[in-house]
Copies of this chain bind each other. A is one copy, B any other.
Amino acid sequence: MTPLSATDRTRLGRLPERSSDDRSVLYSILDDGMICHLGVIVDGAPRVLPTGYGRSGDTLYLHGSTGARSLMTAPSQEICVTVTHLDGLVIARSLFHHSINYRSAVIYGTPRLTTGDEKLAGLRAIVDRLAPGQWDVARQPTRKELAATTVLALSLDEASVKTRQGPPGDDEEDYALDVWAGVVPVSQTFGTPSPDPLLHTGVPVPPHIAARGTETAPTS
């Protein structure tokens, strides 16, 4: 497995001990997430929008309506995709050392439009991220639906990973204070699936959906 890139912008300037150049850490952050934040430049200003994504090997897939301005303009320019998991609130003895425990991945690149089989595979990667198992049971996309959907492919060549875990790091002299310090864990959970009021009577919750109610959700 090749390590992560080390371009100037993916090499952390601050707190480099929080970075990782292990590609498997990048994969696990991406594969634990459900939404990313996509950064594009529109009329000279940054724009950040939440959106779904999927990963297949070293390619990230993003989709959008062909009518969505941010994705329409994206293929011609560099974008940035960030996935963040909030894992805990770090409560320190001093206000200055309060922090969060998190895992984040930042990917830079110029995406390309997909077509044909890759477009379909990209859509499947996106659906698998949100609802694994659904691709095989739901109605497949029509030609018209595919035409209305843009699927972009972004290489994972240029990416950085940053994480913080563990207890607070207070200043030496503050450990003498009688102030509680520690971590409040944060996690995302799935609730009980709620059927569409228009669902036919007797259609059961399929196992791959029911299972979600019992697992801990990814944290993005």
Contacts and interface: CB of A to CB of B under 8 A. Distances in A.
Contact of A100 (B34, B92, B137): B34
Nearest to A190: B184
A78 B186 contact: no
B106 A49 contact: yes
Nearest to A47: B80
A92 to B, nearest CB: 7
Copies of this protein in the assembly total: 2
A174 B108 CA distance: 39
A86 B217 CA distance: 11
Given A175-B198, A191-B185, A95 B46 contact: no
Interface of A: 9, 13-14, 34-35, 37-50, 52, 65, 67-69, 78-82, 84, 86, 89, 91-96, 98, 100, 102, 104, 106, 108, 123, 127, 130-131, 134-135, 137-142, 145, 149, 167-168, 174-175, 177-200, 203-206, 209, 212-213, 217, 219-220
26 contacts: A14-B67, A14-B68, A35-B86, A35-B102, A41-B45, A46-B46, A47-B108, A49-B104, A50-B82, A89-B131, A91-B134, A93-B138, A93-B139, A94-B138, A94-B145, A95-B127, A95-B138, A96-B145, A167-B196, A178-B203, A184-B191, A185-B193, A186-B188, A186-B191, A188-B188, A189-B189
